[in-house]
Each structure stands twice: as structure tokens, then as C-alpha cells.
Chains A and B, each alone.
Chain A
Amino acid sequence: MGVKQINRPPKNLWERLYVFEIARGLGITLKHALLSWFKPGHMPTYEYPEVKRPVAERFRGRHRIRRRPDGSPMCVACYCCQTVCPPQCIDITAEESDDPAVEKRPKEFKINLLRCIFCGMCVEACPKDAIYMSHDYELANRTREQLQLGLEDLLEDEQEGEG
């Protein structure tokens, strides 16, 4: 019951002698070894710390928050991302904005990267397109505290253009 019988093709005498087929296998592996030796550029690997693999455009790395042209964060502290976040790693504290055109701004915007699952739903939820996920994936750190990102960690640099 549930057992699937597979009829393997019978081996001919040459294959059953085994030695020759082993020799053929050795030939195949030797071919690969020699190719790696003489054409190392053809290896499908990256020498990681020096050469970084290009990531896809839609790659979801560490979050960034965009700035307005005047440099203030584009975030309006609407709590959409915090609400939608499945592991609840976003923690926003809102305050009143100085700019009369903007109602609120984040006083604190904390992301716990240790909890984050990089699902990107915060990006989907953002009504102002303020939060996005960068291509920065080298996130290892020595302490847990350094992986609790604050607003100043998340805001993109002044010269950093629109992502």
C-alpha cells in the first residue's frame, strides 16, 4: 500500500563490472577539479567579504526611513506599520510636529531587528511611502542592544537619494 515499484533499467555487463564505471566517474570529477584549477573565474561562487553577490531589486534588507527635502523624516507616525507588523517589532512614539502642514511626527521610531522577520509588510502599509527596505543585509552585531534600531539609525543619510 502506497509503495511505488520503480523498474530500474537492468545494468549491462560493462556496468556490472563496476570498475570501468568508477573510472568514468573519476574522469568526471577530475574534469571538474581541473576546470576549477585552471579556470577559477568560472566557479559559480563569490569570494564573499571582498566580492558581494548583487541582490535583487526587491531584496528586503534593513529598513530605512526617507527624509523630506528639508531633511525631516517623511514618517507621520500613523502607526500603520506598527499595527500591521506580524512579530510586533516596531515601536513608535508620536509627537506634535513643528511644521503646520504636518500633523504628527515620530518622536521615537524603534525597530527590534532581532524580532523582525523582514516580511516587508510595514512597507506595504506605509501611506506616505516613508519606510522602505534597503539592500543592506550585513546585520551581524556583537550585542543585542546594537540591533535595536532607533530613528537616527533608520533615517537615510542626507545625501542618500530617494531609494
Chain B
Amino acid sequence: MMPEWVQAVLTSKWTWAVLALVVAYCLTLVGIIVYTWLERRGAAFIQRRPGPNRRGPYGIVQAVADAVKLATKEDVVPAGANKWLHALAPMIGMTVALTIIAVIPFSGDFELFGQTFRLQIADMNFGFIFILAISSLAVYGVALGGWSSNNKYSLLGSLRSGAQMISYEISLGLALVGVLLIYNTVKLDEMVNAQAGAIWHWGVIQAPMAFLIFLTASYAEANRVPFDLVEADSEIVAGFHTEYSSLRFGLFYMGEYVHMAVSAVLTVVLFFGGWHIPWVEEICGAAPYATLFPWFLFGATLVCLVIAWDAARPRRRVHTKGNLLLSFLLVCAALGAAASGLLYLSYDVPAEVPWLASICGMLTQVIVLVLKFAFFFWLFIWVRWTLPRFRYDQLMKLGWKIMLPLALLNIGVTGALVLLGWL
């Protein structure tokens, strides 16, 4: 019924490793196109202005224009700069952020012809510790970048970053100890599976204090507002990347987005049930995600149709015609999704084609993860355009006098609750 080689491909661990890589790159590097657009449009909408809406449908090609602009700029290395470190610093930032995503599981275990796979690049049994170890290296990118630039503002920025990132690293690590106590494992996929079932199994409900501290500290780690003293433009020009231009600046910029993406996906994995939907097994039976797959397709159909309708409309304010090509493509995509969903339902794939069902279930889990991830990425942007920057003493006070004691208290309380068997 099925050619030998198809089965060989499906049961090869390389297939799924490559797919995991694709998902990881889509979330980080390819995603930057969407993230910069989302940041600029989000900022604009919060400030009641349209934002970039010219290049491409809804202005989404703006990021490409930005990239071309950066790439064609002169790459200035200031006189007296340490050339090697100056070139190395943006690479460190990017590499560190990209390395962390290797241990993130994007889907649960799925079975194909008797073998079990999981969408995860590196299935380390110390994945959690690896994240903490690698993310603490991120400070080197910022610190070296500022130090090697031979510029006082850059140096100030990198000094701030050193103090800030180390202060918040402590709270971050300690907050996660509480999570460790609850899940009783350091493997990320086991942590996610511990959050299956009812919604109160989610980390955010079991350990709300750890979640708040983790979220705050991860904003500080990513050098995002309200903790962007590192590049506080009103005080120290642009902080550590004052002396960076062209693609080196682009690398810092992209590194920041990758860092945010990784923080967001970590938040989902640790506190928001990863790929799990609460109570899904009670509602959808033994293979819930394979059952849900066609409904996700119908959801995608609906989204495509709404965007197609919106894109076909002439813009009143911009006075442009509707984007008919885009709407046509979206309608085609919607029809395709709807047709696949109907086929899936009519053939009763979960019962008759188990291998296809488990692949579809895995894809559904990835979609669930990405949807949750999208919310937390938006939260980064949302917070950035809501909160003002901390003063330096406020930052230190929050880090050392509030978050650190709270994290320690959290460990004690969580430990006691676990000992008493309440968690």
C-alpha cells in the first residue's frame, strides 16, 4: 500500500530533526520579518497611527526594505575600536539566542510505525540547565559590544547591561527553581507533559509568583522596555550599539528579536502548557490533536477568508485599490484548507491511517504552541509601548530588593507545598 521509501523517510529521525530545525528557524530568523512588522504596526496602532502600510499587503514587506537599507549602509568601525571584539559581539548575542531554541520541544511524542519521535532539535536530559547556562552568556554580546567600541556612551551602556543582566539572571534562575520543584524534572518535554489535562496543571496557575518573576526577568534579559537602560536613547545615545552600523547593527537588532522569541516560547513551554490545550482529552478522546486537526484547518479557512475579504476592499484612507491577487491566493488557500479538512473527516483518518493521523496531530500541537507563542511575543511589544523605562536605581531596587526576596520566598513556599503534597 505504501512505498518502502516513504516509510523509510517517515521513520528516519533526520526527517523530524530537519522539520524541528525548520520550525525553529521559522520562529526565530524567518519570524523576524513578521516581528519587526508586528512591532512597528503594533506601536503605531497603540499610538493611533497607521504605521508601515505601503510595501506589500498590510506593509508586511517593510522588514525586507529595512534589511536592504541596513545591508547597503556603510559598515563603520570606529578608530580605536577593538576590531575583533567589535565584530564578535553581535555574533555572540545572536548565537546565544539561537542556541537556546535547540532544546525547546515543539510537539509531544508521536508514533509512526512503532517508533516514537518528537519535534525537538536536541533532546538533552539537562535541557533546562542548558537554557540557564547559555542564556547567561548573552551578557557578553552586549558587554563586549559596548566595551570594544571605544565610545563612552557604549561603555556606559554595556556597564549597565552587565549589572542589569546579572541582577535579573539571579531572580530568573531562582524563580525557575520553584518550577523545578513542582515538575520534578529538568527535561523540558516532561515539564510540558506535566501540564497536560486540567488548566490548573499549567505552570502559571501552580506557580504564579514564579511566572511573574520569570516574565519580568526575561524582559530584563532581552533588554526590552521597561528594562532597556542598556540602550536608553534619551540618556546614552543608543548604548552598546551606538558605534554599530550596517549589518552588524542588524545582527544586534535581529538578536534582540530572536531573544524575545526564545523568551516567549520558553514562557509558553514552562508556564502555559506548551502544546497542550486544557481538558482536550476529556473532550476529544484518546488522540485529541489528530481529532482537532480538521477543525484547525477550518479555523485557518476562516482566517484566510476574513483577510481575503479585507484585502480585496479598497482602502478608504490610503485611497488604494484592493489587493486582488492576495485575496485570490488567500481564497485558494482557504478552499484548500477546507477541502483537506473535509477529506480528513470523511476518510476518518485517525481510525484508518494512523501514521497520517499522528503527523497531523503533531502539526496541530505545533500550531497550538505557535498560537500561544504569538500572544507572548505580542506581550513583549505591548509592554514596550505601555511602560516607561525604569530609572537605574529603580531597576536595581526592583531586582535586588523585591524580585530576589520574592523568588527566595517562592522557593520556600513551593517547597513546603510540595512536601505537604499540595502541589
Annotate A34-62 by CB proximity to B: 1 below 8 A, 0 otherwise. Answer: 01110011111101001100000000000
Contact A30 B48 (CB under 8 A): no
Closest A residue to B398 using CB positions:
A18
Contact B387 A40 (CB under 8 A): no
Contact A29 B50 (CB under 8 A): no
Contact B49 A43 (CB under 8 A): yes
CA distance A35 to B319 in the complex (A): 20
Annotate A4-36 by CB proximity to B: 1 below 8 A, 0 otherwise. Answer: 000000000000000100100110111011011
B386 touches which one: A29, A37, A45 (CB < 8 A)?
A29
Contact B212 A36 (CB under 8 A): no
B309 within 8 A of A: no
Shortest Cβ distance from residue A71 to the other chain B in the assembled complex, whole angstroms: 36
Q: How many Cβ-Cβ contacts under 8 Å join chain A to chain B?
A: 56
Shortest Cβ distance from residue B377 to the other chain A in the assembled complex, whole angstroms: 15
Closest B residue to A25 using CB positions:
B386
B73 within 8 A of A: no
Shortest Cβ distance from residue A146 to the other chain B in the assembled complex, whole angstroms: 27
Shortest Cβ distance from residue B401 to the other chain A in the assembled complex, whole angstroms: 13
Contact A51 B46 (CB under 8 A): no
B375-421 residues at the A interface, CB under 8 angstroms? 382-383, 385-387
Shortest Cβ distance from residue A39 to the other chain B in the assembled complex, whole angstroms: 10
Shortest Cβ distance from residue B44 to the other chain A in the assembled complex, whole angstroms: 7
Contact A36 B44 (CB under 8 A): yes
- Is chain B's interface secondary structure helix, strand, loop, or mixed overall? loop
A41-99 residues at the B interface, CB under 8 angstroms? 41-45, 47, 50-51
CB-defined contacts of A42 to chain B, threshold 8 Å: 48
Contact B382 A40 (CB under 8 A): no
CB-defined contacts of B318 to chain A, threshold 8 Å: 47, 50
* Interface residues on chain A, size class: 20 to 34
Contact A33 B46 (CB under 8 A): yes
CA distance A18 to B317 in the complex (A): 39
Shortest Cβ distance from residue A111 to the other chain B in the assembled complex, whole angstroms: 33
Contact A37 B45 (CB under 8 A): yes
CA distance A42 to B50 in the complex (A): 11
CA distance A11 to B259 in the complex (A): 34
Closest B residue to A22 using CB positions:
B387
CA distance A37 to B310 in the complex (A): 12
Q: List 28 A-B contacts (CB under 8 A).
A: A25-B386, A25-B387, A26-B382, A28-B386, A29-B385, A29-B386, A30-B382, A32-B45, A32-B48, A33-B42, A33-B46, A35-B48, A36-B48, A36-B49, A36-B50, A37-B45, A40-B316, A41-B316, A43-B48, A43-B50, A43-B317, A45-B50, A47-B317, A47-B318, A50-B318, A50-B319, A50-B320, A51-B319
Q: Which residues of A contact B (CB under 8 A)?
A: 19, 22, 25-26, 28-30, 32-33, 35-37, 40-45, 47, 50-51
Given A22-B387, A36-B46, A41-B317; 15 other pairs, CB 8 A cutoff: A19-B212, A22-B383, A25-B386, A29-B386, A32-B47, A32-B48, A36-B44, A36-B45, A36-B50, A37-B45, A40-B50, A40-B316, A43-B317, A45-B50, A47-B317
